[in-house]
Amino acid sequence: MSQITPLRPKVRDAVLQSLRAGVVPRAGLHHIQVGRAEEVKALLQDIERIADGGSGLRFVIGPYGAGKTFFMHLVRSIALEKKLVTLHADLGPDRRLQASGGQARSLYAELMRNAATRAKPDGGALPSVLERFVTSAAGEGQQRGGQPRNRDT
């Protein structure tokens, strides 16, 4: 993050336009991110661990206007650059980790809707992720001499 990269006019204009509209820019976040060096460092370590086959989970909590959305967009953009799949959702009364009235299912549905990859950074990437997984599994099965088949259950 400390490396200075030139700011292309297209990215500059997109950042300024987003900031004027009061929304988080989709690109160029690292050019305007300040004051979160330790948090970014911790999340970069998490991303590296995940890219190496590990796992991680973080909750970003703070009051309205603290920069949670901006920070998460920054981390998400870094993860997508590393060719990782990201999921995100906001927790609230209608989306909870544990509940008996469908709120947990609502959270899971939101996470799946917001699945993002480099090719689909705005979400909706679950079908392509599953297609790649199935294709890869079928290819690996063929290399081992197996044949795909339907299972009757």
State the angle between helix axes of 37-51 and 68-81 in degrees (0 to 180), rounded to the nearest 10.
40
Q: Is the pLDDT reported for residue 35 higher than 90?
A: no
What local confidence, expressed as pLDDT, does residue 12 receive?
78
Q: Is the pLDDT reported for residue 130 higher than 80?
A: yes
Query: Could you count the other beta carbons within 10 Å of the beta carbon of residue 151?
Result: 4
62 in Cβ contact with 90 (< 8 Å): no
pLDDT: is 63 or 3 the higher one? Answer: 63
Average pLDDT (29-51) is 81
Query: Could you count the other beta carbons within 10 Å of the beta carbon of residue 38?
Result: 8
Total number of residues shown for the chain: 153
What local confidence, expressed as pLDDT, does residue 102 receive?
82
pLDDT: is 129 or 78 the higher one? Answer: 129
Q: Is the pLDDT reported for residue 56 higher than 60?
A: yes
Q: Is the pLDDT reported for residue 115 higher than 90?
A: yes
As a whole number, the mean pLDDT across the chain is 83
What local confidence, expressed as pLDDT, does residue 34 receive?
66
- Range picked from 63-77, 78-92, 138-152 for highest mean pLDDT: 78-92
Which of 80, 30, 94, 27 has the alpha carbon at shortest distance from 51?
Answer: 80
What local confidence, expressed as pLDDT, does residue 125 receive?
95
Query: Could you count the other beta carbons within 10 Å of the beta carbon of residue 129?
Result: 14
Confidence label for 153 from pLDDT (cuts 50, 70 and 90) = low
Claim: this prediction has a pTM higher than 0.85:
no
Q: Is the pLDDT reported for residue 57 higher than 60?
A: yes
